[in-house]
Amino acid sequence: MINVTDYLENIYKSQDLPNARKRREVLVNEMAKLESNAKDCASCTGLCCTFIANSMHTDPIQTLEIYRDLVEKGLFNEDLVSSLKETVQNNRLDNELSTGKNSTFRRTYTCTFLTKGPEGCGLSRSVKPYGCLGFNPDQIEAQGEGQCSSNIDLLKQREHQFESLEEQVNGLIKEKLALTWNKLPMPVALLEIHEAVKN
Ligand code: SF4
Ligand code: SF4
């Protein structure tokens, strides 16, 4: 059984990789700025996190950071495992379709972490997938009606800053946990990591 907290802290230190919070800072700050201008998700049902629009995939480092946060908070329990499995099964996320052009068709799914009410997402911003943090309302009270978008420039800026280090670290995690994938739908990735750290 791998101690995920120790393992991640060792990786940050040995690879000079800034921690989860630091690598998301630029996106989290922009989100806070939008919120201070009333461009927030408070009155939305979380449309972008449902099967209508969500196909979020995560790589090993993002998945491990989400996993660690949930484990430390005592939230990665049997109930969550069941919910993740249900999401996978209901949306056939373990069966991605190849388009035959070296790429796969991404299935959409309603995220396991989408909660009802004003909180919206059940994950902490310090570990949330980059793509989730970068998708925000463009207008006041946008309510998800086509008035939200990804801040591509900011996502690229973040990626440019950390891409090579994250690529290197993803390789190390894959080797350590014997993972065969680069990115998976988040629920599948979390279940894979959960199994891998037990071995
Ligand atoms: S992690 Fe949070 S923001 Fe991202 S899709 Fe799931 S509920 Fe939505
Ligand atoms: S980003 Fe847009 S669609 Fe997504 S929860 Fe916020 S307001 Fe709703």
Q: Closest ligand 2 atom, CA of 142? A: 7
* Helices within 16-151 (DSSP H only): 20-36, 60-72, 78-91, 130-133
Q: What is the pLDDT of residue 42?
A: 82
Q: Is 123 in the pocket of ligand 1 (CB under 6 A)?
A: yes
Condensed to tens digits (0 to 9), the pLDDT of residues 145-161 reads: 668 999 999 999 999 99
Condensed to tens digits (0 to 9), the pLDDT of residues 22-56 reads: 999 999 999 999 999 988 888 888 889 999 999 99
Q: Give residue 180's Cα distance to chain centre.
A: 18
Q: Closest ligand 2 atom, CA of 120? A: 5
Q: Which helix (H) or strand (E) holds 98?
A: strand 97-98
Mean pLDDT of 2-25: 98
- Closest residue by Cα to atom 6, ligand 2, is 41
Using only C-alpha atoms, the chain has a radius of gyration, in whole angstroms, of: 17
Phi, psi of 39 (to 5 degrees): -95, 80
Centre of ligand 1 to C-alpha 132, Å, is 6
Q: Is 132 in the pocket of ligand 1 (CB under 6 A)?
A: yes
Q: What is the pLDDT of residue 145?
A: 62
Tokens of 181: 């994938």
